[in-house]
Amino acid sequence: MSQKFDLIAIGRAAVDLNAVEYNRPLEETKSFAKFVGGSPANIAIGSAKLGQKVGFIGKVSDDQLGHYVTQYMADVGIDTTQMVKDDAGHKIGLTFTEIISPEESDILMYRNEAADLYLTTADVSEEYLAQAKMLVISGTGLAQSPSREAILKALTVAKSLGVEVVFELDYRPYTWKNAEETSLYYQLVAQRADVIIGTRDEFDVLENHHGNTNEQTIATLFKYDPKLIVIKSGVQGSNAYTKAGDHYHFGVFKTKVLKSFGAGDSFAAGFLYAYSHDLGIETALKYGSAAASIVISQLSSSEAMPDLAKLTAFIHEAERQEVH
C-alpha cells in the first residue's frame, strides 16, 4: 500500500530569533529576525521543501507564536493536523542566536516549561503513524515527561506497524537533568531505531563515555535493531556505516560560512531525501552535506532550506568547479 506520508517527524516546533547583527556577542545585539525553529520542525521543513510528503506531531503554545509556527509549517506543505495547541498556557520554546564570527556562533535556548515537552501519549495517533513510511524522532523530546512517553509510544507504534524509525540524536543539554539519565533514554531509543544520525559528540552522550571510536560505537549499536548509523563530524564531514559492513565517508562542500547552527538539521533533511528515494548512501551523504553547506551560508535554519532544484544545482556546480 502506498503511504500518505514519506515521513512524519515528532517533537519540538519552536521559534528561532536570529541575530541580524553579525560579529558581535548577544549582549550587544539589538535586532533579531524571527524564524520557525526546533530541530525536528527544521528537518520537516527541509524535507517538505525537497518535495517529501511530511506530517508533524507536536504541541505548540496557543498564542501568536504558536499560530505563526503552525501556519508557516502548513504553508510549506506540512500536514499540521496533529500539531496540537497547549491548553494549559505553556509557551513555545525560544532560541536566540549569536554570530560572533563564522567560526564562533552559538545558541541560547529559553525552554522552561516549553509547550513541546507537554506532548502526551493521547496526542500520538496510531492511525496517523500508520500512514507513514518513516518516523523521525528527535532526542530532546525524551528529556522530560510527558513528552518522553509520547515519543516512546510513537516508537512502539511505529515498530509494530513496520514504519522505519530514524533517531536524530539532537542533544540539547538544557532540558536534561544528568548524564546517566540522558544516556539511558538515548540508548533505549537507539537500540530500537532503524537509522541513527548524530554528531560524534552526541554519540559520546549516548554512550556516557568520551573517547570511543566510531568503530567501537557501531559495534555496540549494531547488536540491536539499527541497520544504518550516520556520524557527523562538522567540517571533517560525515561517515555512514551499515550493519552489512559497508562504510562511506563524505567531506564537506566548502562555502562562505555565516554561522554553524542549522548544519545538522539541513544535513538530516538532505540525507533522508536521498535515502528515502533509494539514491544510495554515498549520495545521501552528499545531499546532506550540500544542504548543510547551503544553510550555514544563510541566516536561518528553516527558511534557508533548499528545494530540490537548488540542491542539485549546487552539487552540480560544486562538482563542475572541482573538475576544472
The residues binding ligand ADP (CB under 6 A) are 199, 232-235, 237-238, 252-253, 255, 257, 260, 263-264, 267, 289, 292-293, 296
Number of residues that bind ligand LHLMWEOZ (CB under 6 A): 15
Q: Which of 16, 202, 204, 207 contacts ligand LHLMWEOZ by CB under 6 A? A: 16
Least Å distance between CB 223 and ligand LHLMWEOZ? 28
C-alpha to C-alpha distance for 31 and 28, rounded to whole angstroms: 10
Q: Which does 318 bind (CB under 5 to 8 A by kind): ligand ADP, ligand LHLMWEOZ, none?
A: none
- Footprint (CB under 6 A) of ligand LHLMWEOZ, residues 267-306: 301
User: Does residue 55 bind ligand LHLMWEOZ (CB under 6 A)?
Assistant: no
Measured in residues, the chain has a length of: 324
Q: Cα dihedral sign for 65, 171, 240, 185?
A: negative
C-alpha to C-alpha distance for 140 and 251, rounded to whole angstroms: 27
Q: Which does 232 bind (CB under 5 to 8 A by kind): ligand LHLMWEOZ, ligand ADP, none?
A: ligand ADP
C-alpha to C-alpha distance for 266 and 294, rounded to whole angstroms: 9
Least Å distance between CB 301 and ligand ADP? 9
123 to 85, 130, 314: CA distances (angstroms): 10, 15, 39
- Taking the least distance from each CB to ligand LHLMWEOZ, the nearer of 58 and 157 is 58
First to last CA, the chain: 46
How many other C-beta atoms can be found within 10 angstroms of the C-beta atom of residue 246?
11
Residues 226-265, one symbol each (x = binds ligand LHLMWEOZ by CB under 6 A, - = not), give: -----------------------------------xxxxx
C-alpha to C-alpha distance for 130 and 109, rounded to whole angstroms: 33
Helices assigned H by DSSP within 50-178:
64-75, 126-129, 147-161
Least Å distance between CB 154 and ligand ADP? 22
Assign 95 to helix, strand or coil.
Answer: strand
Strand (E) or helix (H) holding 112: none
Q: Which does 141 bind (CB under 5 to 8 A by kind): ligand LHLMWEOZ, ligand ADP, none?
A: none
Least Å distance between CB 265 and ligand LHLMWEOZ? 3
- Taking the least distance from each CB to ligand ADP, the nearer of 3 and 255 is 255
C-alpha to C-alpha distance for 53 and 61, rounded to whole angstroms: 25
- Taking the least distance from each CB to ligand LHLMWEOZ, the nearer of 78 and 163 is 78
Residue 146, preceding peptide bond in cis (omega within 30° of 0): yes
- Taking the least distance from each CB to ligand ADP, the nearer of 108 and 122 is 108
- Footprint (CB under 6 A) of ligand LHLMWEOZ, residues 94-133: 95, 107
Residue closest to ligand ADP when measured from CB atoms = 264
DSSP class of 240: E
Assign 133 to helix, strand or coil.
Answer: coil
With CA atoms as reference, report the closest residue to 136 among 52, 261, 240: 52
- Residues 299 and 278: beta-carbon distance below 8 Å: no
Q: Which of 14, 136, 189, 291 contacts ligand LHLMWEOZ by CB under 6 A? A: 14
User: Does residue 45 bind ligand LHLMWEOZ (CB under 6 A)?
Assistant: no
- Taking the least distance from each CB to ligand LHLMWEOZ, the nearer of 192 and 232 is 232
**Which residues, 6+ apart, have CB-to-CB distance to 298 below 8 Å?**
258, 304
**Positions in the binding site for ligand LHLMWEOZ (CB under 6 A):** 12, 14, 16, 37-39, 42, 95, 107, 261-265, 301
